[in-house]
Amino acid sequence: MPIKLQQQENLAGAASRAAQGFGRISKTPPPAFDPQNEQQAACTYFAENGFVVLKNCLNTADLSFLNQFFNQTQQTKPDAWGLGERRKPHHRNQGLIFSQPLLDHPELDRFTRHPGAYPVVSSLLGGEQHVRFSEFNFRETPMNAGVGTMNFHHDEALADRLVRRPYMPCDWLCAIHYLTDVEPDTPSFCVVPRSNRFETLKEAFEELGEDYAEVPLYGVSGTCILYDTATFHTRLDGDGIRSRRTWHQYYARGGWLPSALPTTNKYIRAPSPPLTNWNLFPERLALHPDAATRRFFSHWNTAQGEWVASGFDPKLRKSMPRGEQ
């Protein structure tokens, strides 16, 4: 397609982006915090807004390693990325995704509690003893992907978040690490601050009033965004030409916590439920000799329980969603 025609189509797509929300896109970037020196400030900002931007979470060696992993596995495992004949229909509008790389790549284990962002994650979920692993995947919006139509949405959310006191710690949070620079022309993550306290985006728009904003989150490679999964968010597509690579990791809150509801002075919050019914943890992590690591990987769903009971039978794994790679 000629470049000029491509640009015209991109502009037309940009004009339709208001359908992704209410079109009140902020031009003011949020603050970015140093996770080593500004941890408390970062946690306070997250508690107030439902997200926070952390800078310098991955160093040059980390970024080189992870980008090389993308390059290599897209060549050697195209089906795992949805690049082969067996496409992943549920991800066709979200670019490429490698859903469960931890299953066969122990060289990635060191990133599951990476020292860049993990101390902030731990604090937000109530301390090391309450952090549970949920999911780890890699995503890429490839070059010339075009302009999509992803609507604002939130991930898994519990209804009691709307009435419990205190609200924090949240039930689940996600860490998105930018592995390439994300600028205004690049696909970017976009959030609605403070929308995690509302059931719908329309309710957030009406209740927040002039404070309602749709905030694109830009940053250089190595930037990490933490967000409460109840926060409304989307992906803006940039110019539809440039690419973006990201690493996504989800965490759950484990353990029981005292809380309160409007109808009672006493309420015990149970651990967050499993985030998915399909995500699997490999034997080396689920049954790790270190007790703290076993606890971190102890948030099992039914599929994981059945796989463990089978003795980690590879045939059973292959029969499960996203288990064949």
pLDDT tens digit sequence for 198-254: 999 999 999 999 999 999 999 999 999 999 999 999 998 888 889 999 999 999 999
**Domain co-membership, 249 together with 325:** no
DSSP E strands: which ranges in 108-148? 131-141
Q: State the pLDDT confidence band at 87, using cuts at 50, 70 and 90.
A: low
**Domain co-membership, 85 together with 44:** yes
The whole-chain average pLDDT of the chain stands at: 90
CA-based nearest residue to 73, from 48, 100, 93, 111: 100
**Domain co-membership, 303 together with 227:** no
Q: State the pLDDT confidence band at 268, using cuts at 50, 70 and 90.
A: confident
SS3 51: strand
DSSP 8-state secondary structure symbol assigned to residue 165? B
**Domain co-membership, 164 together with 307:** no
Q: pTM here? A: 0.90
Query: Could you tell me where the DSSP H helices lie in the chain?
Result: 3-15, 39-49, 60-76, 78-81, 118-124, 201-208, 283-286, 291-296, 302-309, 314-319
Which residue has better confidence, 206 or 324?
Answer: 206
What CATH number is attached to the domain comprising 38?
Answer: 2.60.120.620
Q: State the pLDDT confidence band at 86, using cuts at 50, 70 and 90.
A: low
**Domain co-membership, 248 together with 282:** no
**Domain co-membership, 24 together with 107:** yes
**How many independent structural domains does the chain possess?**
2
Which residue has better confidence, 321 or 261?
Answer: 321
**Domain co-membership, 11 together with 131:** yes
Q: In the prediction, which pLDDT does 20 show?
A: 65
Query: Does position 62 have pLDDT exceeding 80, yes or no?
Result: yes
Query: Does position 18 have pLDDT exceeding 90, yes or no?
Result: no
**Domain co-membership, 215 together with 307:** no
Q: In the prediction, which pLDDT does 269 show?
A: 87
- Which residue reads 């484990």 in tokens? 254
**Domain co-membership, 146 together with 20:** yes
155, β-bridge pairs: none
**Domain co-membership, 252 together with 316:** no
Q: What is the mean pLDDT of residues 47-70?
A: 98
Domain annotation covers residue 245: yes
Measured CA to CA, the distance from residue 272 to residue 253 in angstroms comes to: 6
Q: State the pLDDT confidence band at 258, using cuts at 50, 70 and 90.
A: confident
153, β-bridge pairs: 233
Query: Does position 196 have pLDDT exceeding 70, yes or no?
Result: yes
Show the domain range for 299.
276-325
Domain annotation covers residue 118: yes
- At which of 226, 258, 290 does a domain end? 258
Domain annotation covers residue 269: no
135, β-bridge pairs: 250
Q: In the prediction, which pLDDT does 146 show?
A: 75
Domain annotation covers residue 244: yes
Which range (184-198, 260-274, 309-323) has the least confidence?
260-274
Share of the chain above pLDDT 70, in %: 90
- Which residue reads 């957030």 in tokens? 204
Query: Does position 113 have pLDDT exceeding 70, yes or no?
Result: yes
- At which of 224, 258, 292 does a domain end? 258
**Domain co-membership, 200 together with 294:** no
Domain annotation covers residue 263: no
Domain annotation covers residue 271: no
SS3 90: helix
Domain annotation covers residue 304: yes
**Domain co-membership, 207 together with 288:** no
Domain annotation covers residue 266: no
